[in-house]
Amino acid sequence: MTFSPLERRQFIALLAGGVGAVWLGAAPRDLSAAAAKAAAARDDDPWRVLSATEAQVLEAIAEQIIPSDDTPGAREARVVRFMDNALATFAAAELPAWRTGFGEVQAIVQHRRPGLASFAQMEKTEQADLLRALEHARSGFFQLVIIATLQGMFSNPEYGGNHDKIGWQLLGFQDRFVWSAPFGDYDRE
Amino acid sequence: MEGPSFGTRETVDFVVVGAGAAGGVVARELAIAGFRVIVLEQGPYLKAADFRHDELAVSRLGALTNDFTAQPTTFRENENQVAVPAQVLQYGRLVGGGSVHFTANYWRFREVDFHEASLKGGVAGADLVDWPISYAELEPYYTKVDWEIGVSGQAGADPHEPPRSRPYPMPPLPIKSTGVLAERAARKLGWTAFPAPTAIASIPFRGRGACVQCGFCEGFGCEVNAKSSTLAGMIPEAQATGRCEIRPNSYVRKIEVDARGRVNGVKYFDAKRHEVFQRARAVVLCANGAETPRLLLMSRSNRFPQGLANASGLVGRNLMFNGSAFAGGVFEHEVNGYKGNVVSRVIQDFYELDPALGIAGGGGADFRSGFAPISYAMGGLGDSSPAWGPELKQRLREYTRTCYVLAHSTSLPVPTNSISLDPTAVDAWGLPAIRMTFMNHPNDGRLSRYLLDHCMSLLDAAGAVRRWAFRAGASPFPQVHLLGTCRMGDDPARSVVDRYHRAHDVPNLFIVDGSSLVTSGRGQPTMTIQALAFRAAEHMGRMARAGGRW
């Protein structure tokens, strides 16, 4: 049996010459600064590094990753605010790779729907088809956005995502500091 | 709590490299015994008040562990390949080391772990040998770990428990739904789920408060000092003697030797990356199973051209991790594994296997759900889960009803599995990067697959409505149990340290950490590392008092 380093849990960290490593393993040099900025951010604040179009594209992708249905999804959890904040701080070195990714997505959009302004303007089913194609092609950019969406959804709200603890409510996770028995429904069996 | 501060020109009795699970014990024992000790730790000196429930910072961005950007590592499967950058190992990089963020499972090794080769026979392709010491010889020191580090548990609950001279000092932590499911499953399969021995205070212990069941154990620093890390216990006790200085942010690059081939101090970079030479009469390496061999190999000199203490050529070799098998299941009702201490029951009925199976080693398993939210979303759903879309959202909703069975197992020592110096990659200090060469022994893959069947059977027996396996055989990176790379033995040609942890080649150099282990045990090596550290410190003190022999 071979010992492959490409286990699921690490697949991102090893992608594309280390792109993605900051989301999984780099040091949080300015993480506290990131948190301070994000905590003070308001919904209508300007984006720190993303263009309005880029933010719309990311929001549309994130909404496909964790959709809003009978409960809120990635959009309501403001994961794009988290991504913008991350790309302005601890993930700043990755911004060029993201910009390349936006370009790749836009090229596919232009090919499939000539004249359409961006991914965000596509029909939901068209968006899903395009993302399935990216997934099939093992797109590093799409995988990065998946990781960033999950982190924005479930990290502490101080980083800009998980707004109103929407992510934690989806899981059923309650952020309390002290628990006592019974912890679950089987404790007393 | 602040200890003394020695000058760098002063020659202290011992410099200890690494303030982790082993280094904290060694420092405390030597300081209590009357020696002047400096502990050099590459990471910062944080306190409980610095730790937070912040998964992004702690788990995902590695605030408590080695920094892959500054300290790259490389990987290859065999010696014919050129290693490529990969994040292959993780260790605690702060005062307290891995004992700060570990899950605190404290399994004793058993007699079979010390004498597997003679009791069960050798294995082709593995350098499986007996330890020079027995369980009986180490038992008093396991008991010291129980009573001085602080372990909660219930003596006699494990039907296969090795002999113990004292009960646990604290009762077990409370049983959770994960533990109840473990008991239900074990009963059906004719096994026993017993209270997990855990290095977390279940009641107030030696000035520390009891666990408040916050649930943020695995990967996190304890905010109430209930986890029995060396940061919480051993290190403040060492400083309280007035004879032990903890010197954080000190990155050791070389152990120096004098004209007689005796160690006389260490060179390290301080926080400002200035090089400092600290003199000492003896040096103890407790830097972990990867950094310890790296430091020895970096300490090569004209007198020791293969690296320090490496006449045997075995420094860095026989790297072991502990294998694993992992499966998850969804249950009808709330399990809420995220609340409270991670593991409450363990099953070890397959610690030794039927010889008819033809599989060497064995393992143990626990029921848990130690996943904090981000980790669950990124790693807890299994390969069959869609990565995005409505189905992902549905799976995410199962968080509180999900429970996992994790088995740990034997990793066989293979000489070509190693830690060495990468010929080209360097860290942020310009020092050679760690290069890992590793391929599972075929037995270990078979063992993992065998145990994975047990994990799935246990989930079935517990009543899971759906369950799935994580890939067996290959353990995922990064690895955290770093074992065997400076093995202990009586024969200087076949081991790096003697039975007292003294380097065969250098009389005043000692090595005690995961690298000392001759076999991997079945999992959870920290308790054994600390028992060895208590024992080693006693012998170091004895030899130092004998005087002038260095």
CB contact under 8 A, A183 and B400: no
Spatial CB neighbours of B546, under 8 Å, sequence gap ≥ 6: none
CB contact under 8 A, B181 and A13: no
DSSP B471: P
Mean pLDDT score, B163-168 = 98
DSSP B146: I
Residue type, A16: A
The percentage of residues in chain B with a pLDDT greater than 70, rounded to a whole number, is 98
Q: Is the pLDDT assigned to residue B283 strictly greater than 60? A: yes
Q: Is the pLDDT assigned to residue B38 strictly greater than 50? A: yes
CB contact under 8 A, B61 and A128: no
Residues B36 and B239: their CA atoms lie apart, in Å, by 11
Distance from CA of A129 to the nearest CA of B (A): 12
Tokens 């790379």 sit at which residue?
A: B485
Mean pLDDT score, B524-535 = 98
Distance from CA of B237 to the nearest CA of A (A): 28
Distance from CA of A120 to the nearest CA of B (A): 16
Residue A151: how many other CB atoms lie within 10 Å: 28
Contacts of B474 in chain A (CB under 8 A): 1-4, 7
CB contact under 8 A, A155 and B374: yes
Spatial contact of A154 and B393, defined as CB atoms under 8 Å apart: no
As a three-state string, the secondary structure of B501-534 is CEECCCCCEEECCHHHCCCCCCCCCHHHHHHHHH
Please report the residues numbered 53 through 82 in chain A whose beta carbons come closer than 8 angstroms to any beta carbon of chain B: 64-67, 69, 73
Backbone angles phi, psi at B406, to 5 degrees: -115, 120
Tokens 């076999």 sit at which residue?
A: B519
Question: B450 to each of B348, B358, B419, B443, B446, how far by Cα in Å?
Answer: 14, 11, 28, 10, 6
| Residues counted in chain B | 550
Distance from CA of B526 to the nearest CA of A (A): 24
CB contact under 8 A, A10 and B57: no
Give the up-direction half-sphere exposure of residue B313: CA atoms within 13 A in the CB hemisphere: 3
User: Which residues face B368 on adjacent strands?
Assistant: B404
Contacts of A22 in chain B (CB under 8 A): 61
Contacts of A4 in chain B (CB under 8 A): 474
Q: Which residue of A has its CA nearest to B90?
A: A25
Check if A52 contacts B (Cβ < 8 Å): no
Render pLDDT for B209-254 as a digit per residue (tens, 0 to 9): 999 999 999 999 999 999 999 999 999 999 999 999 999 999 999 9
Mean pLDDT score, A135-139 = 92
Spatial contact of B80 and B130, defined as CB atoms under 8 Å apart: no
Burial class (CB within 10 angstroms; exposed 0-12, middle 13-18, buried 19+) of B242: exposed
Spatial contact of B265 and B15, defined as CB atoms under 8 Å apart: yes
Look at residues A74, A134, A84, A75 and name the one whose alpha carbon lies nearest to residue A109: A134
Q: Is the pLDDT assigned to residue B31 strictly greater than 80? A: yes
User: What single string gives the DSSP state of each residue in B144-187?
Assistant: HIIIIII-B--TT-STTPPP-SS--SBPPPPP-HHHHHHHHHHH
Looking at the whole model, is its pTM more than 0.80?
Answer: yes
Residues B352 and B125: their CA atoms lie apart, in Å, by 20
- ipTM summary value: 0.92
Look at residues B520, B199, B254 and name the one whose alpha carbon lies nearest to residue B362: B520
Contacts of A23 in chain B (CB under 8 A): 60
Contacts of B333 in chain A (CB under 8 A): 184-186
Q: Which residue of B has its CA nearest to A73?
A: B393
User: Which residues face B328 on adjacent strands?
Assistant: B404, B468
CB contact under 8 A, B69 and A25: yes
Residues A65 and B378: their CA atoms lie apart, in Å, by 13
Taking one residue from A and the other from B, the number of pairs with CB-CB distance under 8 angstroms is 193
The percentage of residues in chain B with a pLDDT greater than 90, rounded to a whole number, is 93
Here the tokens at position B488 are 């202990």
Q: Are strands B402-409 and B363-368 parallel, antiparallel or unpaired?
A: antiparallel
- Which of A2, A3, A178 to mutate to probe the B interface, most B CBs <10 Å? A3
Largest CA distance in chain B: 72
A52-65 and A79-88 helices, crossing angle to 10°: 130
CB contact under 8 A, B54 and A179: no
Mean pLDDT score, B477-486 = 93
User: Which residues face B12 on adjacent strands?
Assistant: B280
Q: Return the pLDDT at A37.
A: 64
User: Which residues face B469 on adjacent strands?
Assistant: B327
Distance from CA of A44 to the nearest CA of B (A): 25
Question: B46 to each of B41, B43, B64, how far by Cα in Å?
Answer: 12, 9, 9
Render pLDDT for B60-103 as a digit per residue (tens, 0 to 9): 677 899 988 899 999 999 999 999 999 899 999 999 999 999 99
Q: What is the strand order of the sheet B84-85 is part of?
A: B84-85, B73-76, B432-437, B418-426
Q: Return the pLDDT at B370.
A: 77
Contacts of B440 in chain A (CB under 8 A): 1, 3
DSSP B57: I
Which of A24, A131, A181 is closest, CB to CB, to B388?
A131
DSSP B174: P
